[in-house]
Structure formats: structure tokens, C-alpha cells
Amino acid sequence: MLRWLRGFVLPEAACLSEEDRFRYQILFEDLDRNGDGVVDIVELKEGLNYWSSSFGMSSEQEILKAADSNADSKISFEEFAQYLEDHELKMKLAFHSLDKNGDGVIDASEVVDAMKALGIDISEAEAKNVIKSMDSDDTMTLDWDEWKYYFLLHPATNINQIIRFWKRSMMVDIGESLAIPDEFTAHEKRTGIWWKRLVAAGIASAVARTFTAPFDRLKIMMQVYSLQTRRMRLISVFRQLVKEGGFLSLWRGNGMNIFKIAPETAIKIGSYEQYKKWLSFDGANIGILERFIAGSLAGATAQTCIYPMEVVKTRLTVGKTGEYSGVIDCCMKLFRKEGFQTFFKGYVPNMLGIVPYTSLDLAVYELLKNYWLEHFAQKSVNPGIMILLACSTLSHTCGQLASFPLHLLRTRMQVEAMVDKEKLPMTELIHEIYNKEGKKGFFRGFTPSILKVIPAIGIGCVAHETVKPLLGII
């Protein structure tokens, strides 16, 4: 093996040819916008965006870190040329690992086999979309030149990272923005990277929830007390909350909101894998419909297991200053005064809201992303972070619009005892809201709920990309 590597790699690495040097020089001068002989992080980022070659939020940082041998936060031409030379060698090894039959080209079947080897099942059509994004001569195969130029400024270092990029870009983007859990490859499960990805996603979610917690409390207060007074405007509710408990009271209930991330994620991931096995019919490829069904069932399972935490979070959020000294005190008082059944109030509308939210979130996200790829991508497999953020924002908004009335019913039923209301069945509560408030009553609190979507997605995405390098994942 070492002899083969020496014969294959060393002759090409021995010296930089004049052709390669000229090619690298043109690319370097195009990046060096101010002509000072070095490329900094800003110029690198602008260049990647200009060529539509940004493969993630931190692509320029990864390239800079790999190329900057003297650690001066700038890349000279010699460093740039050395980086590209080394990178091409890594990409050639990746190319040959895919080209199983050694015919010098990669076709769709070899992409399918490579993805399957890492535990990812994709169809022939999906594999052809991967090939098409890099195929410059419309042969539906990839030769070395097409492969080399496409991945020239991709920070990936091996085939596993390239396949992870394909999975994230071409398949359903599940895990960071949608209600369906992420799928882990066999390699990630074997090496333990999967738990690092879960930790990164959990930290990002906690950061996003903390930053947007005031919007969440405003939403719940408007949902709960709109029947008592119709003068529930966003600014007036904000002032009342600050006056009643101080500025920090806007984060009341956020501790429980963060605490339930870990058990909810663990249950969702575990049950999702089990439901996939049951729906895959003896190992057959699982399609988008099966993934959606498995994701919905996993979400329902996780919500069932952690639902008492949802009730406690809502009670802490609505509670007045000094009413509860903490989570344990809240649980004890609820149990003593209202019994065990109170921890499952609002369970039915909560379960009914999972399907419309998940289905619309998933459908709108995929529709928008695929529309952009078809009409504006210009053979790029990666829509880019801003396009994905825009798709996520619109898909979340549509999902919330469809499920919000059910979530409002859930919240009202969870806090009936706190607002001195008699317990009403869900159907009677619907009639009461409609008779007293009309159709608008089912969307009380929708404004702060929508206002938090953009910052929540943006903050969560930035936090996730920041945490990943700290955990040693790409």
C-alpha cells in the first residue's frame, strides 16, 4: 500500500509544473482584490461568494486555516499554491476511491454505492442530480478535470466529508431546520461523530431559544389572557411584564425550555431510527414519504415522553413573580392542587399540531430549495447559506400558520386553572374562542411567534457553525 501511494503521489508532488503554477497564479490574482500580494479572510470570502463556491458558513475560515502555514492570518501565493497542490492530491485520492471500476470517470451508480457504504440510501435520480451539478460536458459522468475544478476550493479533505456535503445539499436538509431528525451515516456512528453533532445542535438550539425567549413569553401571555381583555398589544404586554417582574422576567420558563432539549432530541433520534427500520421493509431504500412518516411519528413519540415538561414550562412562563421558586416547586404545587392529569392537559391539540407543522415545513422548504436550484443555481449543488436561511424562514412561517390555532388551544388548556377558568373540552373551548374573539382569536400571539423566526434561525445557524470546529467536526 505504501509503495503504491509513493508511486502514485510523489511524482506529481515532486514539483509544481509551469502549467499548474500559471493556473494558480491567475486564481490567486483574482482573489487578491487590492493587489497587495496576499489574500485575507475578507478577500477569500468575497471570492468564494463571487464564484458561488461557498460550501458552508465557514468555508473561507477552513481554507485559511489549512493554507496559512505561518499563522499570520493571510495567504501568500506560495502558501496558496502549496495548499492547492496538496488539496488536489487529496481530491485525486477521493476521486479514485469513487471510481471503483477504474475507467477514469464517476457515474451515478458509483455515487449510489459510495453513499450506501456510509449508510445513506439514495435513488439513481438523486445520484444523477449530484453528477449533473458538476458535469460540464453533459455526459452524465465526471472525469478527473471536472472533479478537480469543482472541488478546487472546497475545504473537504476526504470522501466522507464530500459525501456529507452531498447529503446536506441534495437530500432533504433534516436536522438543523426541519422537524425530522438528522440521519447519521454508518461512519459517523462508528467513529462517534454522531454524538458531537447532537451536542452541537443542542447547544445551538439552547443559544437560539435563550436569545428569543422574550418573544416566546410574549406569545404565551397573549394567548392566555386575550379572552379576559382584547387590549393585548405587543408593546403593552411587554411593558406589563417588565413592570411586574423586571427585565429578566422576560426569560421566565427558559430554563425548562433548554432542559428539555436533551431528552427530546435523544428520544426523537432513537425512535426515528426505529420507525425507519419498520417502514423500510427489510432494508429497502427509504424514500421521502417514509422519512416524513417516520419523522412525524418520532416527533409524536418525543412529545409524548416530554410533554409534562411542556406543561411545567408554560406554567413557569405564565406564573407571576414569586409564585414558583423553581421547577421542582412548580411540579409539586401542580401535583398537589390539580393532580397528575394536569401534566397532560392540552396533549390532544399538541399531537394534532405535529402533522400540519411538519408536513408544511418540509414541503415548503423542499419546494423553495428545489425551485432555486432549478432556476438560479447554474449547476451548483449548494444553494448557499442565505438561500437556505430564507427557505427555512418561509417554511417555518407556513408551518406555524397551519398549526398555530392548535398550539393556542394547547396553551389555553395547560393554564385553565391559573386563570380561574372551568375545565372545558377542546370542542367547547373552540366555540368559546370563536364566539368571543372570532377567527382572529385563534391567532393571538402570532406576531411575536413570527418575529422570533428569523433571529432564531439565524442565531441558531451561527451558533451551530461556531460550535462545530470546537468539537472537531466539519
- For 235-277, the pLDDT digits (tens) are 888 888 899 889 999 999 999 989 998 888 888 888 887 887 7
Whole-prediction pTM value?
0.66
Q: Mark whether 267 and 198 lie in a shared domain.
A: yes
User: pLDDT at position 4, please?
Assistant: 31
Q: Mark whether 347 and 388 lie in a shared domain.
A: yes
Q: Mark whether 145 and 197 lie in a shared domain.
A: no
Whether residue 176 lies inside any domain: the answer is no
Q: Mark whether 144 and 215 lie in a shared domain.
A: no
Q: Mark whether 457 and 392 lie in a shared domain.
A: yes
pLDDT in tens, 106-119: 998 888 888 777 66
d(CA 171, CA 204): 22
Counting DSSP H helices and E strands in the chain, the numbers are 22, 4
Give the domain-ending residue among 120, 137, 170.
Answer: 170
d(CA 293, CA 276): 9
Q: Mark whether 135 and 225 lie in a shared domain.
A: no
Whether residue 179 lies inside any domain: the answer is no
Question: What residue ranges in 178-297 does DSSP mark as E strands?
Answer: none
d(CA 48, CA 271): 39
User: pLDDT at position 44, please?
Assistant: 85
Residue with the three cell numbers 431528525: 181
Give the domain-ending residue among 123, 141, 170.
Answer: 170
pLDDT in tens, 66-76: 888 888 889 99
CA dihedral 261, 264, 266, 270 (to 10 degrees): -160
Q: Mark whether 155 and 192 lie in a shared domain.
A: no
Whether residue 181 lies inside any domain: the answer is no
Domain count, the chain: 2
pLDDT band at 214 (very low <50, low <70, confident <90, very high): very high
Whether residue 34 lies inside any domain: the answer is yes
Q: Mark whether 95 and 205 lie in a shared domain.
A: no
Whether residue 144 lies inside any domain: the answer is yes
Q: Mark whether 324 and 455 lie in a shared domain.
A: yes
Give the domain-ending residue among 138, 170, 202.
Answer: 170
How high does pLDDT run on average in the chain?
A: 79
Whether residue 312 lies inside any domain: the answer is yes
What CATH number is given to the structural domain containing 77?
1.10.238.10
What lies within 8 Å, CB to CB, of 2 at 6+ separation is none
pLDDT band at 297 (very low <50, low <70, confident <90, very high): confident
Q: Mark whether 190 and 325 lie in a shared domain.
A: yes
Q: Measure the N-to-C terminal CA separation of the chain; round to a whole number of Å.
A: 28
Q: Mark whether 296 and 350 lie in a shared domain.
A: yes
Whether residue 276 lies inside any domain: the answer is yes
What lies within 8 Å, CB to CB, of 194 at 6+ separation is 184, 188
440 secondary structure, DSSP code: G
Whether residue 175 lies inside any domain: the answer is no
Query: Residue 455: which domain range?
Result: 186-470
Q: Mark whether 95 and 235 lie in a shared domain.
A: no
Specify the range with the lowest mean pLDDT, choosing from 12-16, 189-193, 340-344. Answer: 12-16
Long-range contacts from 271-274, C-beta under 8 angstroms, 24+ separation: 271/297, 271/298, 271/301, 271/302, 272/180, 272/181, 272/297, 272/298
